[in-house]
Structure formats: C-alpha cells, structure tokens
C-alpha cells in the first residue's frame, strides 16, 4: 500500500510504502494519513495487509490476526466514525468467509478494502453533485476549514467536491481557507491541493473568519465531518464550531458535507462523541520551533462538535439532508 505522507506537505511529496497493520496504524496516529474517509480506507487496507502477512506463515491463525489488527487500528483515532465503520464492514466480510483457505480469505478481504475505496470515490462525486445545488450560479466565495478534499478521501473530497465540480462547469468560485491551527491542515494541505488544481484560493489566519464575514466577503461555509451523530450534531476539526456560530450571527449558510459512512446512528448526540486530545507539543512547537513556554499547560482537543441547530444542511452521497435531522438521517440510512 502506498500513500502520500501528508506531514511532509507542502514542501515535499514523499510516498510511503506500508506493508503491515502496525505501519498503517503508525501512519494514522501521527497523521501521515488523515481525513475521516481516508482513514476508513487505510484501516481496511491495513487489515488486508496483515492477513496477507499472516497467510504466508506456516501456521496461520487468521482469526487471531484479524482481531489484533482490528484492535490496533481502532485505537488510533477515536473521534472519526469512518475508521470504525470500515473495520466493522471488514469484520462482516471476514466472518462470511467461514472456513475458507487462507489465500481465499486474503483475496476476499483485499477485494472488500478495494471496494470501500472505490465506493468512497463515487460517494465524493455524488456529494459534489448535490452540493453544487447550494452554490449560486453566478459564483460564490466559500469558506472552508481544515482539509476535506482529495487528500482526505478516496475521491475529490467532501466539502470541496462541489468546488471542483463548479470549476469543471465554468461556475466561478473563490475559496477562502482558514489555516487550521495547530497542525495547519488548511495552510499545508487545502491551500496546496486547491492551488495545484488551479482554483482561486486565499489563505487566512483562523481568527480572520469573523471579520471577513462581517465585511460580506463570505457567501457560505462548507466543512467536512469526522462523525455525525443521529441527531445531526457534527464533530469536525477544532475551530469548526466557532465558524458555525459566526456564520449564524452573520446570516451565512453553514453546510456539512460527508458520506453516509460518517454518520453514526449508534451515537445519539454530539455529547456522546469522544473527542481526541492530542499532544501538547503540537501547540507549544508551532512552525518547527518553540513558540510557547516549555512548561505551559496545553489543552489540545483535535475536534469540536457543532450542534445540529447551527447546521443549515448536511450534504451526503444520498442527497441533501435538512432539519429535523433525526428523521432525515434515519430515512437516509434505510437500506
């Protein structure tokens, strides 16, 4: 499995070759790969890689190998739902294999992981098609946060998918990207990705968002999500909640874009979403050098939760969901 090391962007494009669940888990934990849909794909591939390694041994215990790989990968990032969703799907496929030969099990699990990736590619395109309806035909300035583009998915992204399709169809779209402290995913990843695609992108510090909205320089906000609760509360990169509050104050639509695999019907509300707390060094040592006292206490939640009442609509691969979200989500998840 090869992936682009996102920790090296934007200055270097370095591809890593991963051959085990442990290597995939390490890449996820240190954010060499990130973005909820991409993490689901990576976790599925990690399981398949580990089963392939075990099957080459003289006495393969694939059930034990699967359980260990699943537990390891599941422990890496607790907030996002796609990772757990993909591992559960891989588990169903593994159980369906029954007593088949190891080579057949590996082939089945590899095919399932590949299918998860392909389905996400198609889901991104559908999110883009539905999201395009939300962009005014004469063009718009869209504010986005963190990275919910191709780097975070198996396709063209979630929040930026409508932007890519607008460009394809000649609809003028300007994009404002918040830098997204402390790891600068907006600056390092989204600005790099969109600029490379030839889009009109402007980078701003996160604290500029309110002023830009007040000046009428933002028409709508679109972000991705790492987990959406059954009631429509949405967890996304820290800072998203503040954007939603600002958007509501200034009368600007706030949209969340995500595939159905990001929705967790077993999580009743945002209060039930575990929020990952990351290392204090990420805040103390910004921009490659010490930027705070070494002994200062740090709170570094990686995500926050935007209440459903602040979300204008949720754009999914099955259509646009609008309030009341409980009923809309339940209907969308029906087989």
Return the active site residues.
226
**Look-up: residue for tokens 């395009």?**
132
CA 31 distance to own-chain centroid: 12
Q: Are 147 and 161 in contact (CB under 8 A)?
A: no
Using DSSP, state whether 301 is helix, strand or coil: strand
Cα(178)–Cα(196) distance, integer angstroms: 17
Please provide the DSSP assignment of 193-260 as one string.
Answer: HHHHTT-EEEEE-GGGHHHHHHTT--SEEEE--SEEETTS-EEEETTHHHHHHHHHHTT--EEEE--G
Distances in whole angstroms, Cα of residue 49 to Cα of each of 102, 140, 286: 13, 44, 35
Largest Cα–Cα separation, the chain? 68
Structure token digits, residue 95: 């159980």
Q: What is the dihedral of CA 270, 143, 194, 170, to 10 degrees?
A: 120
Question: How open is the CA angle 306-238-210, to the nearest 5 degrees?
Answer: 75
């Amino acid at each position: 499995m090869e992936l682009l090391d996102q920790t090296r962007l934007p200055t270097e494009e370095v591809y890593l070759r991963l051959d085990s669940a442990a290597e995939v888990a390490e890449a996820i934990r240190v954010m060499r790969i990130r973005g909820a849909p991409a993490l689901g794909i990576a976790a599925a591939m990690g399981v398949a890689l580990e089963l392939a390694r075990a099957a080459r041994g003289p006495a393969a215990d694939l059930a034990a190998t699967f359980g260990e790989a699943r537990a390891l990968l599941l422990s890496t990032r607790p907030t996002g739902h796609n990772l757990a969703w993909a591992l559960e799907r891989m588990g169903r496929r593994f159980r369906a294999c029954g007593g088949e030969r190891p080579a057949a099990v590996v082939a089945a699990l590899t095919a399932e992981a590949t299918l998860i990736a392909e389905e996400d590619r198609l889901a991104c395109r559908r999110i883009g098609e539905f999201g395009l309806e939300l962009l005014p035909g004469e063009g718009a300035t869209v504010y986005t946060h963190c990275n919910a583009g191709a780097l975070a998915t198996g396709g063209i992204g979630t929040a930026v998918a409508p932007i890519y399709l607008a460009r394809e169809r000649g609809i003028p779209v300007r994009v404002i990207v918040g830098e997204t402290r402390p790891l600068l995913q907006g600056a390092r990843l989204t600005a790099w990705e969109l600029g490379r695609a030839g889009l009109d992108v402007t980078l701003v510090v996160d604290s500029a968002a309110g002023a830009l909205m007040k000046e009428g320089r933002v028409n709508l906000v679109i972000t991705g999500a790492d987990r959406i609760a059954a009631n429509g509360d949405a967890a996304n990169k820290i800072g998203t909640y503040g954007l939603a509050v600002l958007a509501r104050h200034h009368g600007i639509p706030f949209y969340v874009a995500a595939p159905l695999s990001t929705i967790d019907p077993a999580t009743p509300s945002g209060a039930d979403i575990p929020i990952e707390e990351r290392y204090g060094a990420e805040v103390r040592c910004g921009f490659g050098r010490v930027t705070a006292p070494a002994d200062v206490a740090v709170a570094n939640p990686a995500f926050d939760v935007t209440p459903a009442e602040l979300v204008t609509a949720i754009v999914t691969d099955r259509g646009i969901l609008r309030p009341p979200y409980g009923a809309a989500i339940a209907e969308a998840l029906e087989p």
